[in-house]
């Protein structure tokens, strides 16, 4: 439960989903945190507000989405809150969470199996293999790209049985904007100038925890550790913790409760009362 005697303590948690997913992927975490007394928001990316089944029928509604409009969309919901919340993001939601922190938002944050921000050049073989279905065809830049059940099992849920992975794919998986995978997974580090996932790593901001999964194929621990080390010059607290035996499906695979509880306990322990909405924004 939140400490009701501390009026400055965060009472709201914002959960930011990743690519190939919708807010439905946070169902377990939302219910668990709400049972502890928090208000929990699970904002959808623009166009993702409809259900998984509808997005599968018409993936074109998300094909032309951009990162800036997504960050603006989520930031507006955070800025409307009476006090800074805890922000947690999974996968590309971790990238978005870092961009939100860079705007001076949030009392503290946790990114789980995060996709990197610009400048993180670590590309393990398993990550390249996971993203190949989207990168193998340049035409995918202009359309939404989905994983097959087999591709989903390798990239997302490799610690599950194929049967359990297929069940997860059936309930949660959608297509993702192919442009994002090309722009931020391949091109950003080679294109001159600052791109849309650039952050000032030396800047002060709210405390940030990186959680990595030992068996994650698409965003392996090496990517998350490299991302965390980029913040070495920031005066703000940055920590990394790794959970053994966990895949990219870490937020829903057996034992997810341990990860959720660790994330919440860390975020509450380090929530900064000095971070005021917009105070450190550029």
Please give the full DSSP string across 93-148, using - where no structure is assigned: HHHHHHHHHHTT--SEEEEESPPPPTT-----HHHHHHHHHHHS-GGGGGSEE---
Task: Place 122 in a pLDDT band, splitting at 50, 70 and 90.
Answer: confident
What is the rounded CA–CA span in Å between residue 193 and residue 198? 9
Enumerate domains of the chain plus CATH numbers. 12-190+197-270 (3.40.50.1820)
The pLDDT tens digits of the residues spanning 82-109 come to 999 999 999 999 999 999 999 999 999 9
The pLDDT tens digits of the residues spanning 182-200 come to 776 655 566 666 778 899 9
State residue 65's pLDDT score: 87
The pLDDT tens digits of the residues spanning 142-194 come to 888 899 999 999 999 999 999 999 999 999 999 988 888 777 665 556 666 67
pLDDT average, residue stretch 257-275:
88
Predicted structure pTM score? 0.91
């Amino acid at each position: 439960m939140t400490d009701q005697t501390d009026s400055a303590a965060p009472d709201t948690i914002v959960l930011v989903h990743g690519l190939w997913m919708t807010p439905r992927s946070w169902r377990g975490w939302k219910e668990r945190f709400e049972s502890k007394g928090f208000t929990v928001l699970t904002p959808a990316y623009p166009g993702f507000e409809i259900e998984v089944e509808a997005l599968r029928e018409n993936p074109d509604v998300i094909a032309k989405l951009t990162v800036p409009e997504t960050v603006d969309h989520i930031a507006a919901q955070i800025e409307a809150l009476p006090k800074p919340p805890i922000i947690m993001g999974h996968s590309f939601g971790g990238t978005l969470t870092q961009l939100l922190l860079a705007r001076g938002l949030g009392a503290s944050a946790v990114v789980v199996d995060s996709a990197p921000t610009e400048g993180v050049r670590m590309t393990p073989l398993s990550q390249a293999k996971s993203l190949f279905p989207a990168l193998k065809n340049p035409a995918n830049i202009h359309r939404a790209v989905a994983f097959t059940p087999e591709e989903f099992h390798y990239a997302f849920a490799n610690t599950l049985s194929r049967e359990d992975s297929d069940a997860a794919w059936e309930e949660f998986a959608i297509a993702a904007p192919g442009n994002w995978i090309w722009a931020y997974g391949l091109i950003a580090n080679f294109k001159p100038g600052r791109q849309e996932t650039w952050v000032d790593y030396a800047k002060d901001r709210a405390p940030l925890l990186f959680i990595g999964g030992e068996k994650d194929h698409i965003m392996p621990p090496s990517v998350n550790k490299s991302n965390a080390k980029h913040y070495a010059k920031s005066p703000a607290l940055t920590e990394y913790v790794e959970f053994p035996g966990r895949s990219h499906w870490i937020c829903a695979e057996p034992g997810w409760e341990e990860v959720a509880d660790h994330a919440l306990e860390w975020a509450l322990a380090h929530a900064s009362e000095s971070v005021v909405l917009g105070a450190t924004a550029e």
